Structure 1
Amino acid sequence: MNFLAHLWLADRTGTSLSGSVLGDVVRGADLSAYPDDVALGIRLHRRVDAATDRHPIMQAARGGFAQGERRYAGIVLDLAADHALANAWGDFHDRPLSDFATRCGVSLADDGEWFERGGGRRPSAAGFAELLQSYGTDYGIERAIRRTSTRLRDPQGLVDAGRGWMEASQILMPQLRELLDALVAVMNTREA
């Protein structure tokens, strides 16, 4: 799951929106510098990532990648899942995606100090809202793959694996509710 799904999960379970994103920013196990709700959100993000990787739906989808691309399949599948969620948004949330994205962007910008403390940049409310909405477009996913690839030792490996994102999204779409329900159950087990 990428940012959109993590935020949807946090919203659905009443946990920290910022913590649900900071799980990708903050390193290490010592979260004592963060408020309790944010620290819990970070731990739950990590738990969701692990559960997503182990879930049979994602394991089967990973099998569709060529042998040399499988090491990047998790990143591609996370983005493909966000694309599927964005395009079926009305089935999963009672508010429009634009409203949800705006609310999340504002919340993350308000908690910008925690992003800086974690070694990241302070999110822009409008920029983050735009990013979330872009996951519903082909261009947005392709841009996310390119941008993510620049942070890797072998950027071309992710770019190559990323060529299959659209097929992966189509495979995940009919199974998305089952996957998200399983992840909500993970979120609701709070001993993170």
Structure 2
Amino acid sequence: MAADFSWSQFLWIVFVFVGVPSTFWALVLWAVFSKRRESKGSGPLGLWATGSVAVASGFAACAGWLSWSADYRGEFRGPGLPAPNEFPSWQVAACGATVVVLCLLAARMSRWEKTGGHVAALGTTAGFATAFCIEASTDVTGQSGVGVILCMMGWGTGLTLLMLVRNVVGGRQQSAVQP
């Protein structure tokens, strides 16, 4: 059962399920990476700009792919509230691929090689989960709130692991280039 959209409910859900965990992880990132001497990358964006681009990218990926649905019979359900809750597998896969590519692009645009990747992962996760909160703010059962929590945990873990792999592979490539 869906209720009407409420800005106050949406903002509260974003604060509780996205803002608080994201702030916690941002403080962890700051504590871990502030003590390291990190070489600068080639990108033009600082950490705040990298995070902002990543948040916008994560939000756009979720809203762009999951606000409409094309079912198996060829019928199209356009954007609107309540959002569709059934998607063909190709649409979900395309959404996931888009999120990963946009996160990697945000990390690439960062001036900081390693920290920028982790900030991009955090920002992309927060942006995607914020778009999820739109549906959660209209759900009276609370199940969508659980979906937001799982979204934060899943994307946060997955994108952080992706950035760790990116940092290891990038470190190997740099050491191979430098004699």
Question: If the length of structure 1 is used for normalisation, what is the TM-score?
Answer: 0.28
Specify which structure has the higher proportion of helix: 1
Question: If the length of structure 2 is used for normalisation, what is the TM-score?
Answer: 0.30
